[in-house]
Every structure is written in structure tokens, then in C-alpha cells.
Amino acid sequence: MMTIPLTATESAPVKRKAADYRTDLKPIWCAGCGDFAVLAAIQQTFVAMQIDPKDLAIVSGIGCSSRLPGFVQSYGLHTVHGRALPTATGLKLARPDLTVMAVGGDGDFFSIGIGHLPHAARRDINITCIVMDNEIYGLTKGQTSPTSPYGHTTKSTPLGNQAMPLHPLALVLASGATFVARGFSSQPKHLAELIRMGIEHPGFAFIQAMSPCVTFYDTYKLYKEKVYQIPDSHDVSDLGAAMHYAMEKDRLPLGLLYRNSSRSAAVEMRSQPFDTIQYLDRFQA
């Protein structure tokens, strides 16, 4: 068989590697931080999907994990504390052609930013949200976070944490999220697969990535004892079963808890650029 050479107007398909999704900025996380593995999982997902960096946008707030956009070759927005989701929502409405991701930590999303989370879930805008949950405040040096366990002793709770920990997966399920999953930084291949599924999902995808802080609350050993894979027999369309997994206290189920791929009435809004003038005209009419 004769091989026809490429003409000047043709080019061979670009095969992107992980290095194509890295910037020159080196991560400054503590050695052993789980966020390194989450970053690698995100980059490996982009490699597997062969997404052009110019078609990517990653939005974050404030915190150790919120530094992530600076390490990825894409459009990046490092916004103010707790405001990654509304910023990502506006970006996706303005540029629906972009793959938009919101990333950050449990403090950023579940404390100051928690008011935005249920509304992002119920609106079901096509955003992939990855929360790197270490159950502690890392950037501000080890105070309790909304997911810190009851009784946990820290600088801010010297007598032990008297607040019950938040169940973030239950929160987003109750708020109407159509894709809910949990991964673990020590299982980056599995986490990358969940991220790929989240990006491909035509709506709001929420992924809790358990990502230990080795400096202020090293939970690697604890998590490895508690995690287990959700069985293949689990019906991911069963909201009640998903809520059962989300509320487990003594173990950490990993995998896809819930997925509802039916498109809502907002599909037109999610797939077209947002035109403010047109919207106001229709509203006033």
C-alpha cells in the first residue's frame, strides 16, 4: 500500500502527553501532599481525552489546593475565597464550548463557599467540580474544617471539635446534583477515571477527592483502612442507595455514587452562549 505524504495544508493528529498540560510553575505543596496525585490524575484525564489546552478552563478560590490552576496548561482563574463555583458558572454560560473545572479544598467549598454549592448542584450547569478534602485547614496552619471529625483537637479546637462533620456528598445529592463521586489520591488511576466520567457527564459533576495533608493531619493510614470500592452491582441511578453510601460514617466508599444523565429544561441555556440582552428581552416579554 502506497503512503500518501501530507500536503502543506495537512498535519498529523497531535498526540498530547502529560507534559503538554504542565506549566513551568512548580507545585509548592508539602512533600507527600495528596494534591500532587490529584493534579496528576487531572492531567492524565486530559491526556486520555486529548483535550486541547485552549479548550480548558480551571477556576479555584483560596487555599493550598486552590493553587492548582497555576500548574495546568489551560486558562486559569484564581478567584477570591469561596467563589470558584459562581465564577465557573458565569464562565461556562459565556463560553459553553470550554471544558470548565472548579477546584479547591474543603475549607473553600464547604465553609465560606458553601452557599454556592447547593445552587450549582441544582442548576446543573455543565461544570466538573473537584474538592480536595483533607479535613483540615492547611494554608492557615491546621485549624478544623467543616469535614474535620467530631472531637478532633487542633489549634482552633484545643478541647476537641464540638461540631459534627459535614457530609458533602449527601449535601450535593439532596441539592439535585446529577453526578456524584468520591475518589482517593492514593488511587490516582481510579480518580482519573472518575474525573473523565465527570467531564463527559452533561451537567454538574461533583467529585470529592480525599487528599490527606501530611503536615497538619496525616490521614493516609486511616483512609487506607477505611476506603473500599463501591460494588459493580450498585445502581448509580438509585438516589436512595447513593445517599446511603454518602452517609456512611465508619467507612469511605469510593466510586460513582449517583448519575442521572437525563437532560433538564435548561439544556438550551447550557449549550448556547449566554446573551444578556436576549435574556432580558424574553424576561420583559
Question: What are the cell numbers at 42?
Answer: 487531572
Residue from 243, 245, 278 nearest 172 by CA = 243
Question: What are the cell numbers at 145?
Answer: 474544617
Q: Specify if 229 maps to a domain.
A: yes
Grid cell 473545572 — which residue?
101
The total number of structural domains that make up the chain: 1
Question: What are the cell numbers at 56?
Answer: 480548558
- Percent of the chain with pLDDT strictly greater than 70: 88
Mean pLDDT for the chain overall: 90
Q: 10 Å Cβ neighbour count for 227?
A: 17
Q: Specify if 3 maps to a domain.
A: no
Q: What is the mean pLDDT of residues 142-168?
A: 95
Q: What is the 3-state secondary structure (H, E, C) of 48-113?
A: HHCCCHHHEEEEECCCCHHHHHHHECCEEEECCCCCHHHHHHHHHHHCCCCEEEEEEEHHHHHHHC
Q: Specify if 37 maps to a domain.
A: yes
Its domain, for residue 49, covers 18-284
How confident is the model over 170-211, as pLDDT tens digits?
999 999 999 999 999 999 999 999 999 999 999 999 999 999
Burial of 72 (0-12, 13-18, 19+ CB in 10 A): buried
Q: Specify if 68 maps to a domain.
A: yes
Please state, in angstroms and rounded to a whole number, the distance separating the CA atoms of residues 171 and 76: 27
Residue type, 76: G
How confident is the model over 18-40, as pLDDT tens digits?
999 999 999 999 999 999 999 99
Residue type, 218: D
Q: Specify if 10 maps to a domain.
A: no
Q: Is the pTM of this model over 0.85?
A: yes
Q: Specify if 2 maps to a domain.
A: no
Q: Specify if 43 maps to a domain.
A: yes
pLDDT at 244 > cutoff 50: yes
The CATH number of residue 246's host domain is: 3.40.50.970
Q: What is the mean pLDDT of residues 161-165?
A: 95
Q: Specify if 5 maps to a domain.
A: no
Give the distance from CA 151 to its chain's centroid: 28
